[in-house]
A = this chain, B = another copy of it.
Amino acid sequence: MSNEVKLHALGGSPFVCRVKIALSMKGIKYENIEENLRNKSADLLKYNPVHKKVPVLVHTGKPIPESLVIIEYIDDVWKGVPVLPQDPYEKAVARFWAKFIDDMCIPAAFKVVDSNGEEKAIAEACEQLQKLENELKVKGTKFFGGDNINIVDIAGDFIAYWLGALEEASKIKYATREKFPKIHEWADNFLNYPVVKEILPPRERVVAYYKMKFGKV
């Protein structure tokens, strides 16, 4: 029943892609409602009056905003391939790292661009990435989820794909393969993971969007 699950989306958004990956992992069919950020639909404003942002998942008429909240919901409702670990401790560790990416890594990356590549901002962004690099080194697995992706890998889609596009658009490069070999290896694996590969927007579209956003056209 494709019409019982709807996703208010923007193809180029890493937060929307997170939800698409989780839906695809579970094999859930859904209706994609592409939003126009300059003219948001009445439904989006009704469903997410607090943030007025995508993604919003609507399941049997009930809206859920916030990508990580949506992913937890998807994992709670639909059985099949798990997106979060089953063990409570492993689950807590996964939640910790997904939150770390949202709270620390992504804001730091945008601060680099906002500051026009200020040394302090780059050092801060590298410091956060180094913590992810260390975690991957300690784990020694292909993905944060082990042999398969989980919520941490999905939350990391920005780092695996959008960060490079942001560096290209802003012409400020710091998250190099030399500095962060484990992150790059993980990103290669993640971007080639079947459900992920099919969902990613074309890179040139992401670069063009960031160029426009940061006035670097």
Contact = CB atoms under 8 A, between A and B. Distances in A.
Q: Contact size class for A?
A: 20 to 34
Among A68, A73, A100, residue most surrounded by chain B Cβ atoms (within 10 Å): A73
Contact of A92 (B69, B89, B92, B100): B69
Contacts of A89: 59, 62, 64, 73
Count this chain's copies in the assembly.
Answer: 2
A103 B82 CA distance: 27
A76 B70 CA distance: 18
Given A50-B131, A69-B96, A96-B69, A76 B64 contact: no
Interface of A: 50, 59, 62, 64-66, 68-70, 72-73, 76-77, 88-89, 91-93, 95-96, 99-100, 131
A96 B66 contact: yes
Q: What is the interface of chain A mostly: helix, strand, loop, or mixed?
A: helix
A73 B50 contact: no
A50 B130 CA distance: 10
6 contacts: A64-B89, A66-B96, A72-B95, A73-B89, A73-B92, A77-B88
